[in-house]
Amino acid sequence: MTATREPVPVAAQAPTREAVMAQARSENFPVASYLLGRRERSHLLAIYGFARLVDDLGDEAPGDRLALLDWLEAELDRLYAGAPVEHPVMRSLAPTVAACHLPAEPFRRLIEANRRDQTVTRYETFDQLLDYCRLSAAPVGELVLHVFAAASPDRIRLSDRICAGLQVTEHLQDIVEDHSRGRVYLPQEDLRSFGCSESDLTASGEGGEAVRRLIAFEVDRARSLLAEGAPLARTLAPRARAAVASFVAGGRAALDGLGRSGPHNSKRAFVSAWLQAVRGR
């Protein structure tokens, strides 16, 4: 008689804290945090850990990703209810939530963005893409402002523009990778307008000049979003101002890289700009 295997618990399918935080070696968010003091850096890394965990569950985890995202939201509910949580990333987040009085709603939007990624793989218009950025990027900026004790409505609006600009930039960097996952974040109406097909967005795509013109168009949009949000830095205390200014500078460097060489080499420019910002402060 064949033994029946017990199903693997949902929590056991989530990546470990070590795997989540290892991303800190290669991504830009933690690099910028070194402009700050130990307290702010600790809180930013706790927020980063949650953002990375939810992205890993939505993009990389095997099995039922919607079930994993439901489990993570239940973890968030437990955290805000003062109950024990399972995952070490959530345990690390709890002191930051308490110390910085972080609202739950931005965390819930990050989870909802990854739920949307399971069912929505195309966006018809740029406005629809910006609505997705409201879920996938803006919450991080809002939470960072809470860490700085600077989360006024006006500042959050400016932060939303910066975060949208950075998210659009990331989408432009990751066109080929996203397409391989079955997702296209370039607005469909723009693809049609520039005479591009989705096959042009693959590593072997032959869109040529049409794709370059399309990317240049989206680069200008992202640059405008960063410019609209950039005045945020002037409203902040010195350390926070330096960090936000470096986020904007890093985004602009990435867009410069896209303008010169397309999506394949621009990430190197982005990381380089962060390191220069850190060393120059």
Please, where are the H alpha helices in 137-174? 138-147, 153-173
Whether residue 142 is contained in a domain is answered as yes
What is the Cα–Cα distance from 264 to 61, expressed in whole angstroms? Answer: 25
Same domain, yes or no: 135 and 91: no
Same domain, yes or no: 226 and 93: no
CA 15 to chain centre: 18
Of 211, 129, 218, 236, the C-alpha closest to 169 is 218
Whether residue 1 is contained in a domain is answered as no
Whether residue 7 is contained in a domain is answered as no
The last residue of one of the domains, among 91, 119, 147, is 119
Same domain, yes or no: 274 and 235: yes
* pLDDT of 273: 44
Question: Residue 115: which domain range?
Answer: 13-119
Same domain, yes or no: 137 and 56: no
The last residue of one of the domains, among 90, 119, 148, is 119
* pLDDT of 11: 58
* pLDDT of 14: 64
pTM for this prediction = 0.84
Whether residue 280 is contained in a domain is answered as yes
* pLDDT of 36: 75
* pLDDT of 62: 83
Same domain, yes or no: 147 and 55: no
* pLDDT of 220: 96
CA dihedral 28, 24, 140, 225 (to 10 degrees): 10
CATH number at residue 63: 1.10.600.10
Q: State how many domains the chain has.
A: 2
Report whether 137 contacts 163 (CB < 8 A): yes
Same domain, yes or no: 152 and 163: yes
Whether residue 8 is contained in a domain is answered as no
What is the Cα–Cα distance from 267 to 251, expressed in whole angstroms? Answer: 10
* pLDDT of 63: 82
* pLDDT of 243: 86
Same domain, yes or no: 131 and 108: no
CA 140 to chain centre: 8
Residue located via tokens 């239940």:
74
Same domain, yes or no: 140 and 259: yes
The last residue of one of the domains, among 119, 137, 165, is 119
* pLDDT of 262: 57
Whether residue 77 is contained in a domain is answered as yes
Instruction: Give the end-to-end CA distance of the chain in Å, rounded to a whole number.
Output: 68
Whether residue 179 is contained in a domain is answered as yes
Helix (H) / strand (E) element for 74: namely: helix 65-80
Partnered with residue 184 across adjacent β-strands are 122
Same domain, yes or no: 36 and 134: no
pLDDT in tens, the chain (281 residues): 444 433 445 555 666 666 656 665 455 444 445 667 888 888 988 998 899 899 989 988 888 999 999 999 999 999 999 999 999 999 999 999 999 999 999 999 999 999 999 999 999 999 999 999 999 999 999 999 999 999 999 999 999 999 999 999 999 999 988 998 899 999 999 999 999 999 888 866 556 889 989 999 999 999 999 999 999 999 999 989 988 998 899 899 999 988 776 555 444 444 444 434 433 43
Helix (H) / strand (E) element for 271: namely: helix 266-280
